[in-house]
Amino acid sequence: MSAKEKSSPGMLSPYRVLDLTDERGLLCGKILADLGADVLQIEPPAGNSARRIAPFYRDEPSPDHSFFWWSYAANKRSVTLDVTRADGRALLERMVASAHFLIESGRPGEMAALGLGYEDLAAINPALIVVSITPFGQTGPYSSYLASDLVGMGMGGFMYVTGDPDRAPLRVGFPHFYLHGSAAGAAGAMLAHAHRVATGEGQHVDVSCQEAVARALANSLAGYPIEGSIIVRQGAYRQTGAGTFMRITWPCKDGFVNFQFSGGASSGQSVNNFVRWMADEGMADEFLLSLDFKNLGYGTVTMEMMDRIVPPVSRFLLERTKQQLFEGAIERRILLFPVSTLGDILEDPQLEARGFFRTAESSDFGAGLTLLGPFARASATPIRATGSAPRLGQHNAEIYIDELGLARSDLIRLASAGVI
């Protein structure tokens, strides 16, 4: 960590964010915190739901050991507050008066039922930006639908195109539905902030995680209105249009590699280079040599062509390890990559050279923990690496006593009553 990262303020250092989200919305405030905002995670006295999500440090399921919590609450401060209680709401309203952003992930109408809907909050602080992160948005026919990650990935269209053709559609192996929406929430918050800078007005940012996932459908979405094609999942292959495919995943000697076998300016040049590599190693294939992939359009190879392409290419790959293939690919400018395991990533020389993984000098859990680096680098301001996540109510005293001026006796009273 450079001296600059430690000392200079981040891009968003003047701004205070009140984060009332549960595990579905944490990433939104995390992005703003990484960019330098002062984010107060307002947790129910029993703790944020994310604190219960596995896996746990040392496999000890305790509220401060959840890696999910570490990942998406780091760089925030934690205060406890039961906003469903009158005293809790009163304290929240005092914080709202001087805050710049408030983020919540309750079901549509849930905040309003507590007297904390957008109109209520705007009455206290008209410049406040309220970001609501929900599966489907605040209104509409499905707005009250219950959605887990799996439900959302299915309704966003992502599962239907992912997985093997002979089995059920698949989700991505880590829950991403709410992460997509939460990351988009940070973008929406900053757009609303630009509006506030120009006009002084706050507003309500209504995020739909379903829309966020639908935006990850690449070219498949427009395939229906434009070509009338239903894009189906193809396992190792990918359908790019009506009757056109590219192969993506290939087995090799010790695992898998990802090699986009397609035409197009970049992919086609890469495939041409690969075909030459095969020839150099005495595994030339006449059909492959007869094609110039650079002049075939991107994603325009038919299944019939693929049937002639796959056997010779597979033979070549199965004789080599993913590391041998990757090194050969780098040398010959071929777009071929290992299907990295998590262990491979931790040893990745590029990430190591950039110092992405960090070893914590100290933490609540001692020295030597490995943590993630920042999501981007900026030349004039620090973007925070994923530091330690707050313990439950760690910052109660500095907010309630130092800042809001509560007497310690009142803090104790509210804690005993279960409000804090």
Partner 1 sequence: MRPLDNLKVLDFCWVVAGPMTTSYFAEYGATVVRVESRQRPDVLRTAPPSRVKGKSLNGSGYYANYNANKYALGLNLGDPRAIAIVKRMVAWADMVTENFTPGTMERLGLGYDELRKIKPDIILFSTSMLGRGGPRSKLPGFGAVLSSLSGLTAITGWPDRSPTNPYGAYTDFITPRFAVATLLAALDHRRRTGVGQHIDMSQLEVSLHFLGPLLLDRANNGREAGRTGNRHEAAAPHGAFPCRGEDCWVTITCMSDAHWLALRQALSDPPWMQSERFSTLLGRKRGEDELEALLAEATQSWEAGELVRALQAAGVPAGPVHSNKGVVEDPQLGHRGHLVYYEKAEIGRHPVQRSEFRLSRAAAAQNWPTPVIGEHTRLVCRDILGMTDAEIDPLVAQGVLEEPPVASHG
Residue 403 CA to residue 194 CA, distance in Å, equals: 28
- In angstroms and rounded to an integer, the radius of gyration of the C-alpha atoms of the chain is 26
Residue 73 CA to residue 64 CA, distance in Å, equals: 11
Among 75, 80, 105, 260, binds partner 1 (CB under 8 A): 260
Which is closer to partner 1, CB of 86 or CB of 330? 330
CB 136 within 8 A of CB 210: yes
Q: Per CB under 8 A, which of residues 96..125 are in contact with partner 1?
A: 118
Nearest to 272 by CA among 282, 283, 281, 261: 261
Q: Per CB under 8 A, which of residues 279..298 are in contact with partner 1?
A: 297-298
Among 40, 80, 95, 259, binds partner 1 (CB under 8 A): 259
Minimum distance, C-beta of residue 9 to partner 1, in the bound complex (Å): 9
Minimum distance, C-beta of residue 304 to partner 1, in the bound complex (Å): 17
Q: Within a 10 A sphere around the Cβ of 154, how many other Cβ atoms? A: 18
Residue 365 CA to residue 69 CA, distance in Å, equals: 15
Which is closer to partner 1, CB of 310 or CB of 371? 371
Residue 22 CA to residue 44 CA, distance in Å, equals: 9
Task: State the DSSP code for 167.
Answer: S
Minimum distance, C-beta of residue 286 to partner 1, in the bound complex (Å): 26
Strands 237-241 and 244-252: antiparallel
Specify the stretch interacting with partner 1 by CB under 8 A; choose among 85-93, 261-269, 303-311, 395-403: 261-269
Q: 3-class SS at 376? A: coil
Minimum distance, C-beta of residue 116 to partner 1, in the bound complex (Å): 16
Among 333, 362, 391, 402, binds partner 1 (CB under 8 A): 333
Q: Per CB under 8 A, which of residues 366..395 are in contact with partner 1?
A: 369-381, 383, 386
Which is closer to partner 1, CB of 113 or CB of 218? 218
Specify the stretch interacting with partner 1 by CB under 8 A; choose among 80-88, 106-114, 222-230, 406-414: 222-230
User: Contact between 192 and partner 1 (CB under 8 A)?
Assistant: yes
Report which secondary-structure segment, H or E, holds 122. helix 118-124
CB 109 within 8 A of CB 140: no
Among 172, 305, 306, 415, binds partner 1 (CB under 8 A): 172
Among 26, 91, 231, 271, binds partner 1 (CB under 8 A): 231
Structure tokens at 290: 């007869």
Nearest to 207 by CA among 174, 242, 183, 233: 183
Specify the stretch interacting with partner 1 by CB under 8 A; choose among 79-87, 200-208, 284-292, 407-415: 200-208
Structure tokens at 330: 């780098």
Minimum distance, C-beta of residue 408 to partner 1, in the bound complex (Å): 36
Which is closer to partner 1, CB of 180 or CB of 395? 180
Residue 123 CA to residue 130 CA, distance in Å, equals: 12
Which is closer to partner 1, CB of 298 or CB of 316? 298
Specify the stretch interacting with partner 1 by CB under 8 A; choose among 38-46, 79-87, 173-181, 310-318: 173-181
